[in-house]
């Protein structure tokens, strides 16, 4: 088992953990973090799996770079939205009590 | 009780997912086909205008991805500032007057700018590039913001917006210039690839830094409301 | 595009465009709207007349284009199509005139006449459809364009009626769609042709074909008011009188009956349908509906509701005629398509006149209306007698042809049905006639209005009289070549002796 | 010629996005009108070009497929490009009048709008799995931005819910892409399709992941929870865009994946399972639509239901004869197109109605039928298409799907199709019924400008007319695609 | 075919009464409406008196293809109808008040048109059409005065008539199917040959039997005839009742072998009616009701030769003219008697005596007193009957006929008595007198000059 494959498997585990958090956590920021965890896992899988085969491979690296930027953009956007949401409603989650309030 | 059940079920599902995924990864790793892509890439690297393969992929072979990616970033920045409608994005309440911080900043800010410049330049042949540089740039801004330096330029005026969109716009102009020159969309005219990529990288750095910074400082201080749809003209 | 292709399109467009123009006109331009309505109706009448003459001489009017892979949109004027098209073109004119008068000073006229025209355009499409698919297209369009008319008044009752109407008709539409799609899957595009498509079909398919037939009849039977799918019809009578006239006489109910005719003759082929044993049960069902509708009509106190149940009964005559295996029965069914239309429209016109002029809606309020509104009452009386089958009115011709058909098909029981139904018709119509003429005016009219010299508004006055004249003439002149009977014979001859 | 058209197609939305960011709402409006015109003309030109000459691959930046990104310009793609041009133009025109220019944040509408358009074009033409991901994100973020525009709490909540759903969907999709790339070393869909074999569990897992992610983004039942709030809360032109186009993008990718890879990587269970979920969406979505008190929620849940039909593509193209599969594909394409037109018309018309009665509630609509008949009529016509009654595009689609179901012996989908139509009728007629009620006490209606009324009508008429001209539209889809065969051959010989 | 009279005359004889109701459209035309009543049957009368029989008029465009014709049998019925209607019409001019005048005139005209038309009809559809028109229009005459009794009578009439119509329709439909033509002339042979012959015969007997007052189908008759306005009663009992008879004569398979049982049935029913009606009639107090029972009784008498003709096909040619003659005689006489009920006693004694004499004339005629029309008609009929061999009840025939005469006598006496009690002094319009007198003259005098009698 090459280290690359190990990276990939670690990515898999990260995905699992992230998914668990994403599904279960209600606090918006935590959920966002879980999302980032999944993202990291995916990127690890992407690179690890490809490099396990080809050795250092610039294409997945570039892809991951792009993916990271996208993820950052999304994360930043989400944080802005969450902040404003919190500012307006005082809620940190989208649960039902929030719905009742509005 | 229900909550526990839910917890357990989710845990089981996620574990199952992880195992299945791991199996798939192992299987894929075992069954991987040899790919011709690395050789193709190596063969084409010479005509890409940059030496570093990752940058070549990013800004030449798959530059459409990058263009759109910058678009995504612009969107995020835009939405960020759209939610803040005060004249300045800077909140005076956060301005600090700690002299130690101030002194530190006087050292750090120029250093970080220098680092950003280096990263940008390094992108041509080693890890680095516009995004890394931009990120450092943005970090500089964040530092300045946290340190309480006045930052009048992140007003949501036309200047900020111009800054946000500058990198994207230049990239796009280059892209369409290639098309107008009779090449494909996004294709660089022969021989000009290196220079164009550098230009793009520079403006991208600026824009990326600006966007990230704008996102950071976009404060939800507006209490103005969009009336509910149908609530009256 | 040649003239022969243009004419069916023109027939369709005349009312379709009228609808568009009317929708575009502002609510307040009543004169212009009336003008557009009447011009369109006259234009359509002219086109239909030319086409009828052409079909009589054997010209083929058809136009088609591929709409979906393997499915074409096809308009074709054959003799049967012209029977229905002629009916709707003629009666549309009168109904339009009547509606203009009826809705004077009421709101939402733009909407009303728009959908009214749309409704007739759909009917024309149903008539001229050249294949089952196109038929379905217009059939559903008819459903939709009549809904706003049914709920036009916007009262709870009419909305309720509209809801039921939609539930029934769309439900029927689903069955029909399934049947058509299934059939299409089995046999491809199915243009209407005189001998049907399944003569000599693989016996392995017979089971499926039977099932499809049931689906098709169920789908069409809803509009045709076939028991037990008739529930919407009596409720829909809350609509304004011209709409009821349209529903019962011209468009909706007829479209269902017409569709059954098409399916039995031009899709399955009468011989095949007979061989498959599909006609006999359908005939029984029609017979039952005839009796059932009449019996129910007996107990209705609301005039229009009584007429509605009468429609349920009468339309099944058409279906009965179709199922009587043999040209004579076909003639009876087909000719009733027209005759029932003329008679029922007269009755609804009259009912509308009573409601509009005297404010009378219930049968027991009609006492002595004959003296106050003699012309309308004469029209009502003649139409009612026609329904009973009194010669020489339209209904008699039908009944005679049906009876002859039943005997030719050796289904003597059908005669019994006809006779019982006639008696029942008499039982619910004659009391009304009696009240009109022989009862003294009991109380002041609920809401009387007067218009100058005539007994009612001129636009309401003439249409029932003209249709009454027609219902007398189609009976009296049944043997001439211009009569519906002759036309039905022409169709039957083409259908049975291709 | 194709070069110019492609350049125009790709450049205009992005450039207009950048430009309009610098302008305010009114100026952006003028600019955008020009842009819509260009975009519409280019789309039409491309459609005509493809319709007459067949499809082609367009290598971006001059780099061919595995190394660079190639766009696949075939009949289906240009059809959707044209559809996008039509719907987006309509929504843009409507928004230009509908939105209140005095609000400072409305200036961001135009850039988001154009980014969205760019992303959509990217998806329709995309043939590179990763590029599709980026395009999807472009769409998602601009869509979220459009929903959140104005920053109302309800809008924010909807936007956040929407954002999380689409982000998760994208990542799951990307995970699938990672597996595929790890196994096959290419991102080109055609390339993968050329080398993938029948028994590849990893690839099957990848497909499953991608489909799952895309299903979440398409709001397939039971993952639809985010859609109704987002579509219901957004401004009507935005809702129209989202319901009409955005959800179709992810479905489109899923469909392409399935059609390219499904025959080898899919299974009967998977196909039937997805179909069952689609059926569930049809029924459950319709039922919920029927229950909603707010007009736009009705329309939004109707989207959930209508999207359900799309997923019948999976069972109807799996392991069936070629003509049947083609029928199903044509039917689904028509369903996408007609739903896009009808649903956007419906949302726009609903916006007009809401403007007019100043309330979002269904039961406030009484009497509007004689005050705003035109908008109501547009709503009604669009509803006819949703009910899939003839002669609309929705009917044509249903017809083809019925044929496909019957021909493939999967009669249970027939039940779904028919039932779905009836349920659609139930919720549409509920609205009609409310508008026909004449017991409204006040007669206080605001009359929106005529232009607002005309746009949904045009869209609804397009949806209606689609049924009549379905054959020529579909014929473009069936065009030969010679280049595809060549490229596939290229990729196949490479290893 | 020879000697077709002017088509205009034929058309006028039906169309004049048919279109006459249009006069009612304007309230201002009441006077004309009233005055025209006696003139309506005149074209038909001219036709009956002057045209040379037989003739046939083909009208292929009318309804399902019509044939109108006149032969000797029809001529006597046409004579009866036209004469009675025109005298009754004249009577009505003097009889009617202004209330509901227009309504009465409309139904009068329509009923008359139907009655005349059915006599001329040569095909089933025309016959049925006119028969129906007459049936339905007559309802208007029956319920004219609007009393509860009239309405009850009207309802019974209508129900029975409808049932009869339905039986007829079914019979005709079956017959048309069997014969494959609509001509009445071909009917007898066709029914004779048809499988459904017995069903058709039964239906036709029942259908026409309602109108003709066949026992058990007669219930409406004693109710409806008396309640109608007197002129209407006259035509109901005198002319319209004969339409049923004519229907039998034209439609039943008379002259065909093998219908003996039906003939027997009719003969029995005839006697039952003839004698039974007397029993019931005796108990009545209203002279018009007595007359109505008398009509049933007399019709029963006429049914006997009809049955005989059916039972003895060879003798039909002898029996038919006898039946026609008897019908003519009875119609005219009965009409007179009915009209007399509406009279008032004049002031002068002589005139009273004269009145009773004139009333007695048709009454005696019914009894068959010598030198009356009754004597001729009864004589001819009795002769024809007794000459017919192999009749059922043949041995009892003379006895039964005498019993029938006795029944007639009983009823006539009862009628006279009741009339005596009823008539009161007063004044009546001249037209009423003239109508009655003319009717009596027709019955007593003109009868002998009629073409069919000579």
Neighbours of E215 (CB within 10 A): 21
Pairing of strands E55-59, E66-70: antiparallel
Report yes or no on chains E and B touching (3+ CB pairs under 8 A).
Answer: no
- Rounded CA separation C453/C451 (Å): 6
Q: Give C389-419 as a 3 state SS string.
A: CCCCCHHHHHHHHHHHHHHHCCCCHHHHHHH
Q: How far is CA D135 from CA B67, D116, D272, in A?
A: 10, 9, 29
- Rounded CA separation C414/C319 (Å): 12
Look at A79 and B56 and tell me if their CB atoms are within 8 Å. no
Look at C173 and D389 and tell me if their CB atoms are within 8 Å. yes
Which pLDDT belongs to residue C83? 86
Contact E287, E204 (CB under 8 A): no
Which pLDDT belongs to residue D440? 58
Nearest by CB: B131 against A8, A13, A65: A65
Look at C174 and D437 and tell me if their CB atoms are within 8 Å. no
Query: Residue E128: beta bridge partners?
Result: none
Look at A59 and B57 and tell me if their CB atoms are within 8 Å. yes
Non-local CB neighbours of C26 within 8 Å, separated by 6+ positions: C110
Look at E62 and C403 and tell me if their CB atoms are within 8 Å. no
Burial class (CB in 10 A: 0-12, 13-18, 19+), B23: middle
- Rounded CA separation A28/A17 (Å): 17
Which pLDDT belongs to residue C394? 87
Contact E228, E189 (CB under 8 A): no
Band of pLDDT at residue D305, cut at 50, 70 and 90: very high
Q: Is E125 on the interface with C (CB under 8 A)?
A: yes
- Rounded CA separation A87/B149 (Å): 25
Query: Lowest-confidence range among B141-155, C326-340, C451-465, D23-37?
Result: B141-155
Band of pLDDT at residue B103, cut at 50, 70 and 90: confident
Query: Lowest-confidence range among C200-209, C245-254, D405-414, D431-440?
Result: D431-440
- Alpha helices by DSSP H, listed for D54-128, are 75-98, 109-125
Question: pLDDT tens across D44-58, in order?
Answer: 999 888 888 888 888
Band of pLDDT at residue D490, cut at 50, 70 and 90: very low
Which pLDDT belongs to residue D492? 41
Which pLDDT belongs to residue C189? 81
Is the per-residue pLDDT at D203 higher than 60? yes
Query: Lowest-confidence range among B16-20, C476-480, E272-276?
Result: C476-480
Nearest by CB: D141 against A15, A77, A88: A77
- Rounded CA separation A64/A59 (Å): 9
Long-range contacts of B112-118 (CB under 8 A, 24+ apart): B112/B136, B112/B137, B112/B139, B112/B140, B112/B143, B113/B137, B113/B140, B116/B140, B116/B205, B116/B209
Q: How far is CA B100 from CA B92, B108, B139, B142, C403, in A?
A: 19, 12, 19, 17, 113
Q: Is C147 on the interface with D (CB under 8 A)?
A: yes
What residue numbers bound the domain in which A76 lies? 3-96
CA distance A26 to chain B (A): 13
With contacts defined as CB-CB under 8 Å, which chain C residues touch D396? 67-68
- Alpha helices by DSSP H, listed for D196-321, are 201-218, 227-233, 236-241, 247-265, 268-291, 295-310, 313-317
Band of pLDDT at residue D279, cut at 50, 70 and 90: very high
Band of pLDDT at residue C490, cut at 50, 70 and 90: confident
Average per-residue pLDDT for chain A: 84
- Rounded CA separation E40/E38 (Å): 6
Burial class (CB in 10 A: 0-12, 13-18, 19+), E424: exposed
In percent, how much of chain B has pLDDT > 70? 82
Look at C400 and E143 and tell me if their CB atoms are within 8 Å. no
- Rounded CA separation B27/E74 (Å): 109
- Rounded CA separation D381/D463 (Å): 8
- Give residue E390's region: left, alpha or beta (phi > 0; psi -120 to 50): left
Element (H, E) at E56: strand E55-59
Contact D213, D176 (CB under 8 A): yes
Contact D6, B185 (CB under 8 A): yes
Counting as low any pLDDT under 70, the low residues of chain A are 1, 95-102
Band of pLDDT at residue B94, cut at 50, 70 and 90: low
Q: Is A88 on the interface with B (CB under 8 A)?
A: yes
Neighbours of A89 (CB within 10 A): 15
Q: Is C112 on the interface with D (CB under 8 A)?
A: no
Contact A45, D123 (CB under 8 A): no
Look at B54 and A62 and tell me if their CB atoms are within 8 Å. yes
Which pLDDT belongs to residue D43? 92
Which pLDDT belongs to residue C1? 54
Report yes or no on chains C and E touching (3+ CB pairs under 8 A).
Answer: yes
For residue E396, the 8-state DSSP code is: G
Q: The CATH number of the domain where A52 resides is what?
A: 1.10.287.3510
- Rounded CA separation E244/E252 (Å): 11
Helix (H, G, I), strand (E, B) or coil at C67: strand
Which pLDDT belongs to residue D8? 85
Q: For the residues of D263-284, what is the DSSP string, one character each?
A: HHH--HHHHHHHHHHHHHHHHH
In percent, how much of chain E has pLDDT > 90? 5
Nearest by CB: C403 against E61, E136, E173: E173
What are the domain boundaries of chain D? 1-266, 291-478
Non-local CB neighbours of C164 within 8 Å, separated by 6+ positions: C231, C232, C235, C236
Nearest by CB: C419 against E25, E170, E177: E170
Highest mean pLDDT among C84-88, C231-235, D339-343: D339-343
Look at D6 and B71 and tell me if their CB atoms are within 8 Å. no
Average per-residue pLDDT for chain C: 85
Which pLDDT belongs to residue D272? 92
- Rounded CA separation A95/A28 (Å): 10
Q: What is the pTM of this model?
A: 0.86
List the 162-201 stretch of D: residues with Cβ below 8 A of A. Answer: 163-164, 167-168, 171, 174-175, 177-179, 181-183, 185, 187
Question: pLDDT tens across C4-45, in order?
Answer: 778 888 888 888 888 888 887 777 788 888 888 889 889 989
CA distance B30 to chain D (A): 8
Question: pLDDT tens across E91-138, in order?
Answer: 888 888 777 888 888 899 999 999 999 999 888 888 999 999 999 899
Question: pLDDT tens across C90-109, in order?
Answer: 888 888 888 888 888 777 78
Report yes or no on chains E and A touching (3+ CB pairs under 8 A).
Answer: no
Which pLDDT belongs to residue D36? 93
Look at D185 and A53 and tell me if their CB atoms are within 8 Å. yes
For residue E70, the 8-state DSSP code is: E
Look at A85 and D167 and tell me if their CB atoms are within 8 Å. no
Nearest alpha-carbon partner for C142 in C167, C161, C164, C170: C170
With contacts defined as CB-CB under 8 Å, which chain A residues touch B58? 62, 65-66
With contacts defined as CB-CB under 8 Å, which chain C residues touch E132? 390-391
- Rounded CA separation D477/D413 (Å): 24
Nearest by CB: D396 against C68, C110, C159: C68
- Rounded CA separation E435/E433 (Å): 5
Q: Is B131 on the interface with A (CB under 8 A)?
A: yes
**Number of CB pairs < 8 Å for A and D?**
95
Which pLDDT belongs to residue C325? 79
- Rounded CA separation C130/C133 (Å): 8
Q: Is D427 on the interface with A (CB under 8 A)?
A: no
Within its chain, how far is the Cα of D9 from the centroid?
19
Nearest by CB: D403 against C66, C110, C181: C181
Which pLDDT belongs to residue C113? 86
Residue A102 falls within a domain, yes or no?
A: no
Non-local CB neighbours of D332 within 8 Å, separated by 6+ positions: D255, D309, D310, D312, D313, D397, D401
CA distance A43 to chain B (A): 13
| Per-residue pLDDT of chain E in tens (454 residues, 90 and over written 9) | 456 788 888 888 888 888 888 888 777 888 888 888 888 888 888 888 887 778 888 888 888 888 888 888 888 889 889 989 999 998 888 888 777 888 888 899 999 999 999 999 888 888 999 999 999 899 888 888 888 888 899 889 999 999 998 998 888 888 888 887 888 888 888 887 778 888 888 898 999 999 888 888 888 888 888 888 888 988 888 888 889 999 988 888 887 777 888 888 888 888 888 888 888 888 888 888 898 999 999 998 888 888 888 888 888 888 888 888 888 888 988 898 888 888 888 888 888 888 888 888 888 888 888 888 888 888 888 888 888 777 777 778 888 888 888 888 888 888 888 888 888 887 777 888 888 888 888 888 887 877 776 6
The residue count of chain E comes to: 454
What are the domain boundaries of chain B? 50-217
Query: Residue C302: beta bridge partners?
Result: C362
Q: For the residues of C301-370, what is the DSSP string, one character each?
A: -BHHHHHHHHHHHHHHHHHHHHHSSSHHHHHHHHHHHHHHHHHHHHHHHHHHHIIIII---BGGG-TTHH
Q: Which residues in D423-445 are b (16+ Cβ under 10 Å) and which e?
A: bbbbbbbbbbbbbbbbebeeeeb
Look at D62 and B184 and tell me if their CB atoms are within 8 Å. yes
Band of pLDDT at residue B232, cut at 50, 70 and 90: very low
Task: Average the pLDDT over B107-123 and give the result.
Answer: 86
Question: pLDDT tens across D350-398, in order?
Answer: 988 888 887 888 877 877 776 777 788 888 888 888 888 888 888 888 8
What are the domain boundaries of chain C? 278-498
Question: pLDDT tens across B36-71, in order?
Answer: 777 788 888 877 777 888 888 888 888 888 899 999
Report yes or no on chains B and A touching (3+ CB pairs under 8 A).
Answer: yes
Band of pLDDT at residue B221, cut at 50, 70 and 90: low
Which pLDDT belongs to residue E113? 92
Taking each helix axis from N to C end, the angle separating C30-56 and C79-102, rounded to the nearest 10 degrees, works out to 160
Q: Which residues in E159-171 are b (16+ Cβ under 10 Å) and which e?
A: bbbbbbbbbbbbb
Q: Is A95 on the interface with B (CB under 8 A)?
A: no
Band of pLDDT at residue D42, cut at 50, 70 and 90: very high
């Amino acid at each position: 088992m090459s280290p690359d494959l190990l990276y990939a498997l670690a990515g898999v585990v990260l995905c699992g953990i992230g998914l668990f958090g994403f599904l279960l956590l209600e606090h918006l920021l935590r959920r966002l973090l879980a999302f980032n965890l999944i993202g990291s896992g995916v990127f690890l899988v992407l690179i690890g799996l490809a490099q396990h085969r080809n050795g250092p491979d610039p294409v997945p690296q570039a892809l991951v770079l792009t993916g990271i930027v996208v993820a950052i953009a999304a994360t930043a956007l989400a944080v802005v939205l969450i902040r404003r949401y919190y500012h307006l409603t005082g809620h940190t989650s989208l649960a039902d009590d929030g719905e009742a309030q509005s | 009780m229900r909550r526990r059940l839910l917890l357990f079920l989710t845990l089981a599902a996620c574990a199952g997912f992880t195992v299945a995924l791991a199996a798939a990864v192992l299987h894929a790793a075992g069954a991987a086909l040899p790919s011709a892509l690395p050789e193709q890439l190596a063969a084409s690297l010479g005509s890409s205008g940059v030496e570093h393969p990752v940058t070549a992929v990013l800004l030449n072979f798959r530059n459409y991805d990058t263009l759109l990616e910058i678009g995504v970033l612009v969107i995020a920045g835009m939405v960020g500032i759209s939610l803040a409608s005060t004249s300045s994005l800077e909140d005076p309440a956060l301005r600090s007057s700690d002299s130690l911080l101030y002194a530190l900043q006087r050292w750090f800010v120029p250093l970080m700018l220098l680092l950003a410049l280096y990263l940008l330049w390094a992108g041509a042949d080693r890890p680095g590039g516009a995004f890394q540089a931009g990120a450092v740039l943005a970090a500089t801004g964040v530092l300045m913001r946290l340190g309480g330096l006045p930052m009048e330029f992140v007003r949501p005026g036309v200047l900020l917006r111009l800054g946000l969109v500058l990198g994207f716009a230049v990239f796009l102009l280059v892209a369409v210039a290639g098309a107008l020159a009779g090449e494909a969309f996004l294709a660089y005219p022969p021989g000009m690839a290196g220079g164009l990529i550098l230009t793009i990288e520079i403006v991208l750095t600026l824009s990326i830094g600006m966007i990230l910074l704008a996102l950071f400082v976009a404060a939800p201080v507006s209490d103005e409301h969009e009336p509910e749809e149908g609530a009256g003209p | 595009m040649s003239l022969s292709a243009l004419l069916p399109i023109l027939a369709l467009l005349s009312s379709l465009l009228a609808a568009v123009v009317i929708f575009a006109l502002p609510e307040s331009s009543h004169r212009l709207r009336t003008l557009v309505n009447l011009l369109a109706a006259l234009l359509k009448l002219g086109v239909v007349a030319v086409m009828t003459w052409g079909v009589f001489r054997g010209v083929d009017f058809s136009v088609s284009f591929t709409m979906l892979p393997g499915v074409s949109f096809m308009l074709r004027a054959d003799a049967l199509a012209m029977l229905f098209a002629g009916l709707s073109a003629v009666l549309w004119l009168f109904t339009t005139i009547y509606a203009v008068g009826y809705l004077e000073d009421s709101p939402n006229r733009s909407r009303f006449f728009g959908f009214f025209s749309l409704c007739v355009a759909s009917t024309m499409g149903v008539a001229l459809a050249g294949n089952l698919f196109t038929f379905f297209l217009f059939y559903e369009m008819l459903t939709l364009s009549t809904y706003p008319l049914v709920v036009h008044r916007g009262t709870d009752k009419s909305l309720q009626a509209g809801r039921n109407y939609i539930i029934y008709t769309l439900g029927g539409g689903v069955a029909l769609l399934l049947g058509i799609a299934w059939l299409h899957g089995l046999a491809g595009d199915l243009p209407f042709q005189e001998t049907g498509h399944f003569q000599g079909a693989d016996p392995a398919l017979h089971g499926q074909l039977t099932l499809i037939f049931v689906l098709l009849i169920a789908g069409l039977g809803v509009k045709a008011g076939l028991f037990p799918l008739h529930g919407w019809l009596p409720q829909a009578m809350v609509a304004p009188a011209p709409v009821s006239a349209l529903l019962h006489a011209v468009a909706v109910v007829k479209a269902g009956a017409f569709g059954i005719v098409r399916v039995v003759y031009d899709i399955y082929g009468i011989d095949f349908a007979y061989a498959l044993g599909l006609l006999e049960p359908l005939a029984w069902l029609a017979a039952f509906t005839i009796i059932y509708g009449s019996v129910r009509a007996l107990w209705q106190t609301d005039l229009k509701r009584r007429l509605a149940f009468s429609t349920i009964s009468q339309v099944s005559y058409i279906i009965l005629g179709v199922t009587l295996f043999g040209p004579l029965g076909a003639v009876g069914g087909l000719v009733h398509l027209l005759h029932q239309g003329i008679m029922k429209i007269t009755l609804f016109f009259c009912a509308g006149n009573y409601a509009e002029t005297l404010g009378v809606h219930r049968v027991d309020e009609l006492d002595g209306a004959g003296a106050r509104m003699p012309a309308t009452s004469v029209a009502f009386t003649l139409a009612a007698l026609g329904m009973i089958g009194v010669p020489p009115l339209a209904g008699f011709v039908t009944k005679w042809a049906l009876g002859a058909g039943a005997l030719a098909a050796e289904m003597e029981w059908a005669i019994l049905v006809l006779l019982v139904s006639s008696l029942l018709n008499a039982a619910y119509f004659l009391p009304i006639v009696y009240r009109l003429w022989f009862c003294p005016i009991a109380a002041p009219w609920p809401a009387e209005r007067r218009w100058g010299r005539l007994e009612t508004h001129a636009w309401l006055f003439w249409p029932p009289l003209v249709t009454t004249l027609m219902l007398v003439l189609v009976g009296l002149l049944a043997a001439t070549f211009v009569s519906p009977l002759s036309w039905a014979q022409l169709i039957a001859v083409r259908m049975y002796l291709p | 010629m194709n070069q110019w058209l492609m350049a125009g197609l790709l450049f205009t939305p992005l450039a207009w996005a950048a430009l309009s960011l610098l302008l305010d709402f009114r100026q952006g409006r003028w600019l955008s009108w020009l842009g819509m015109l260009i975009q519409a003309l280019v789309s039409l030109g491309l459609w005509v070009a493809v319709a007459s000459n067949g499809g082609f691959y367009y290598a971006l930046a001059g780099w061919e497929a595995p190394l660079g990104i190639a766009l696949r310009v075939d009949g289906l793609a240009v059809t959707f490009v044209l559809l996008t041009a039509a719907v987006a133009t309509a929504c843009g025109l409507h928004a230009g009048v509908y939105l209140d220019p005095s609000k400072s944040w409305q200036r961001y509408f135009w850039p988001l709008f154009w980014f969205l358009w760019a992303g959509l074009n990217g998806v329709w033409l995309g043939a590179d799995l990763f590029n599709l991901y980026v395009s999807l994100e472009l769409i998602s973020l601009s869509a979220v931005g459009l929903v959140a525009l104005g920053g109302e709490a309800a809008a924010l909540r909807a936007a956040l819910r929407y954002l999380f759903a689409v982000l998760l969907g994208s990542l799951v999709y990307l995970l699938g892409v990672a597996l595929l790339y790890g196994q096959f070393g290419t991102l080109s869909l055609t390339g993968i399709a050329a080398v993938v074999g029948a028994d590849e569990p990893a690839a099957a897992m990848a497909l499953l992941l991608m489909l799952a992610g895309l299903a979440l983004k398409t709001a397939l039942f039971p993952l639809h929870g985010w859609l109704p709030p987002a579509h219901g809360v957004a401004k009507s032109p935005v809702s129209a865009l989202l319901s009409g186009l955005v959800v179709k993008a992810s479905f489109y990718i899923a469909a392409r994946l399935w059609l390219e890879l499904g025959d080898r990587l899919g299974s009967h269970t998977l196909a039937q399972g997805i179909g069952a979920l689609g059926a569930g969406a049809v029924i459950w979505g319709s039922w919920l639509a029927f229950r909603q008190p707010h007009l736009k929620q009705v329309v939004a849940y109707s989207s959930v239901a209508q999207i359900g039909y799309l997923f019948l593509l999976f069972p109807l193209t799996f392991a069936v004869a070629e003509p049947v599969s083609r029928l199903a594909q044509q039917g689904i394409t028509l369903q996408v197109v007609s739903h896009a037109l009808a649903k956007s018309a419906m949302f726009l018309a609903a916006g007009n109605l809401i403007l007019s009665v100043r309330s979002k509630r269904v039961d406030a609509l009484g009497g509007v039928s004689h005050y705003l008949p035109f908008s109501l009529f547009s709503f009604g016509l669009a509803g006819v298409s949703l009910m899939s009654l003839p002669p609309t595009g929705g009917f044509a689609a249903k017809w083809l799907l019925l044929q496909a179901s019957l021909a493939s012996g999967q009669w249970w989908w027939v039940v779904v199709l028919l039932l779905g139509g009836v349920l659609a009728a139930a919720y549409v007629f509920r609205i009609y019924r409310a508008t026909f009620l004449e017991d409204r006490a006040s007669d206080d209606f605001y009359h929106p400008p005529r232009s607002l009324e005309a746009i949904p009508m045009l869209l609804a008429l397009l949806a209606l007319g689609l049924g009549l001209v379905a054959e020529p539209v579909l014929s473009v889809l069936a065009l030969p695609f010679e280049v595809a065969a060549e490229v596939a051959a290229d990729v196949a010989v490479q290893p | 075919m020879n000697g077709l009279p002017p088509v205009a005359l034929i058309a006028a004889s039906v169309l004049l009464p048919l279109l006459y109701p249009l006069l009612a459209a304007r309230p201002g035309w009441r006077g004309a409406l009233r005055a025209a009543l006696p003139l309506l049957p005149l074209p038909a009368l001219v036709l009956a008196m002057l045209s040379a029989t037989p003739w046939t008029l083909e009208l292929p465009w009318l309804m399902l293809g019509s044939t109108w014709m006149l032969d000797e049998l029809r001529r006597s019925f046409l004579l009866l109808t036209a004469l009675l209607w025109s005298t009754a019409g004249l009577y009505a001019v003097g009889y009617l008040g202004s209330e509901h005048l227009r309504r009465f005139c409309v139904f009068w005209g329509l009923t008359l048109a139907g009655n005349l038309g059915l006599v001329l009809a040569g095909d089933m559809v025309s016959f049925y059409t006119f028969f129906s028109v007459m049936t339905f229009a007559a309802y208007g005459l029956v319920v004219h005065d609007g009393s509860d009794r009239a309405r009850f009578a009207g309802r019974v009439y209508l129900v029975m008539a409808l049932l009869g119509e339905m039986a007829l329709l079914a019979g005709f439909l079956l017959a048309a199917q069997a014969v494959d033509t609509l001509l009445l002339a071909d009917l007898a042979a066709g029914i004779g040959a048809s499988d459904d012959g017995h069903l058709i015969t039964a239906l036709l007997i029942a259908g026409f039997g309602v109108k003709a007052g066949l026992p058990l189908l007669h219930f409406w008759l004693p109710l409806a005839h008396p309640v109608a306005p007197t002129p209407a009663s006259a035509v109901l009992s005198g002319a319209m009742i004969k339409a049923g008879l004519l229907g039998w004569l034209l439609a039943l398979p008379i002259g065909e072998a093998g219908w003996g049982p039906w003939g027997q049935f009719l003969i029995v029913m005839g006697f039952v009616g003839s004698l039974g009606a007397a029993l019931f009639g005796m108990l009545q107090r209203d002279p018009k009701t007595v007359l109505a029972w008398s009509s049933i009784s007399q019709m029963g008498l006429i049914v006997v030769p009809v049955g005989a003709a059916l039972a003895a096909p060879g003798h039909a040619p002898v029996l038919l003219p006898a039946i026609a003659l008897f019908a003519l005689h009875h119609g005219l006489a009965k009409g007179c008697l009915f009209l007399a009920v509406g009279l008032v006693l004049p002031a002068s004694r002589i005139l009273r005596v004269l009145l009773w004499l004139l009333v007695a004339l048709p009454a005696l005629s019914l009894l068959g007193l010598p030198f009356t029309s009754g004597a001729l008609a009864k004589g001819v009929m009795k002769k024809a009957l007794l000459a017919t061999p192999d009749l059922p009840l043949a041995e009892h025939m003379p006895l039964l006929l005498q019993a029938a005469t006795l029944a007639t006598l009983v009823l006539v006496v009862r009628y006279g008595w009741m009339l005596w009690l009823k008539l009161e002094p007063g004044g009546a319009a001249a037209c009423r007198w003239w109508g009655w007198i003319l009717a009596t003259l027709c019955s007593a005098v003109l009868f002998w000059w009629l073409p069919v009698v000579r």
